[in-house]
Amino acid sequence: MALKGIVIDPGHGGTDPGAVSNNLKEKDYTLLISKYMYDRFKALNVPVKLTRDTDVTLSPKERTSKVQSFFGNGKDVIVISNHLNAGGGDGAEVIYALRNNSNLSKKVLDEIEKEGQNIRKYYQLRLPSNPIKDYYFMHRDTPNNETIIVEYGFVDSPKDDVEQIKKNYEKYAEAVVRAVCNYANIKYVAPANSNYYTVKKGDSLWSIANQFGTTVKKLKEINKLSTNVLKVGQTLNVTDIDEVVPDEYLLYTVKKGDSLWDIAKEYNTTVETLKNINNLSNSNLTINQQIFIPKNEKTGIKNNIYIVKKGDTLFDIAALNGITVSEIKELNNLKSDILQIGQVLNIPSKSTGEINYIVQKGDNLYTIANKYDVKIDDIIKLNKLSTNTLQIGQVLKIPGSTNYNTYVVKKGDRIFMGNNE
């Protein structure tokens, strides 16, 4: 579709406050949402207009007349009327005109859902007195335009809509911008410091997951993807992918010249173990790719690892881990308190009284217990073992030590249980 322009309509205004509850006034938030959206479309060089940019009263006729005065009444004009709902429900919904299909509305709700908002439905509504006409004047009196009414949530919701609207209205507005760009084939560029990634030529879920230190599975879950197929220009939410690395692993960032063999040798493990742990189908690596490495007697567990998320500060991270800012800065050779999203920090760990052991070929529970001078029954209890069969790369917790180490289980290993085997 060759788009002529977009008209954004902040619902209500002036003497008409719209829905009011829980210190939420519809006319105020529709204006905030609409002005944010207007600025974003302008930044993307999309022709865009607002029906109001201040708290003024507009009659239905004045409102729809303004809509059609900007770009006309053609099919190449998208009209977005922004609203908040009332009635005790929860979640976002979109109403589209009888003359239009549901494609745009579906895209809008899909994108809003990515921002954590509950989704109700997208639908059409007919005028009871004349079912061939739309229920809402905004649909009826903007003939031919692609007009949608977006309800971002309920001001009187008994659930979480109220706080979500207050905190996340800009995210929801950005979601609509993304949806419109996708629908109208407009090149979308995420705003600065955005939590979204725009797919480029040659990208794959695997390469993007590696870039952000996550997994393909996590990316698919966040973005509700059913396949691994990506399109150039597609946007992916990477808001919540940063996680603390599991205790039994180190996180290693691949450098120029690295190979799996070199890394395995350096960290006293095997290529096969690294491939299994990281779900690698081959031995190819890319610079800045992040892979998990099992902790063992060489790597130890003097430190845990934390990946910096949006909004994190050294103070927050220190408090979360029960340590001081100075300890983090000293361990990571930090010269300032400034952090970058995705930055990997070593975190001094407290003594756990346990170690991790990754079982290797030739080991059984007896030899492992003997090595660490602990009881077989204690290992069984700590790991909740119900079988004497071990898996390659399996991590066993060993009681009674001040640090974790790791040991990799190899094919054919069995847990020796003495008289209980």
Burial of 413 (C-beta count, 10 Å sphere; 0-12/13-18/19+):
buried
Sign of the torsion angle spanned by Cα atoms 28, 29, 32, 33? negative
Question: What's this model's pTM, rounded to 2 decimal places?
Answer: 0.55
pLDDT in tens, 190-234: 886 667 788 888 888 888 877 776 778 778 888 888 888 888 878
Dihedral angle of Cα 355, 410, 371, 354, to the nearest 10 degrees = 10
pLDDT of residue 247: 56
Specify the CATH number of the domain 5-183: 3.40.630.40
Per CATH, the homologous superfamily of domain 249-348 is LysM domain (3.10.350.10)
What HEC string does 38-56 produce?
Answer: HHHHHHCCCCEEECCCCCC
Confidence bin at 416 (pLDDT 50/70/90): very low
pLDDT in tens, 266-303: 777 778 778 877 767 788 887 767 777 877 644 444 44
Q: Who has greater pLDDT, 101 or 407? A: 101
Query: Does pLDDT of 173 surpass 70?
Result: yes
Residue type, position 80, single letter: I
Q: How far apart are the first and last CA of the chain?
A: 70
Mean per-residue pLDDT over the chain, rounded? 81
pLDDT in tens, 5-15: 999 999 999 99
Distances (CA, A) of 76 to 47, 137, 184, 187: 12, 20, 9, 17
Query: Does pLDDT of 419 surpass 70?
Result: no
Residues 294 and 406 sit within 8 Å (Cβ to Cβ): yes
Query: Does pLDDT of 352 surpass 50?
Result: no
Confidence bin at 413 (pLDDT 50/70/90): very low
CA 151 distance to own-chain centroid: 23
Percent residues over pLDDT 90 in the chain = 43
Q: CATH topology of 5-183 equal to that of 196-237?
A: no
Dihedral angle of Cα 395, 397, 398, 401, to the nearest 10 degrees = 110
The residue ranges of every structural domain in the chain are 5-183, 196-237, 249-348, 354-420
Percent residues over pLDDT 70 in the chain = 80
Mean pLDDT of 53-57: 96
pLDDT of residue 400: 59
Per CATH, the homologous superfamily of domain 196-237 is LysM domain (3.10.350.10)
Confidence bin at 326 (pLDDT 50/70/90): confident
pLDDT of residue 193: 60
**26-65 core/surface letters (b: 16 or more CB in 10 A; e: else):** bbbbbbebbbbbbebbeebebebbbbbeeeeebeeeebbe
- Architecture (CATH level 2) of domain 354-420: Roll (3.10)
pLDDT of residue 109: 96
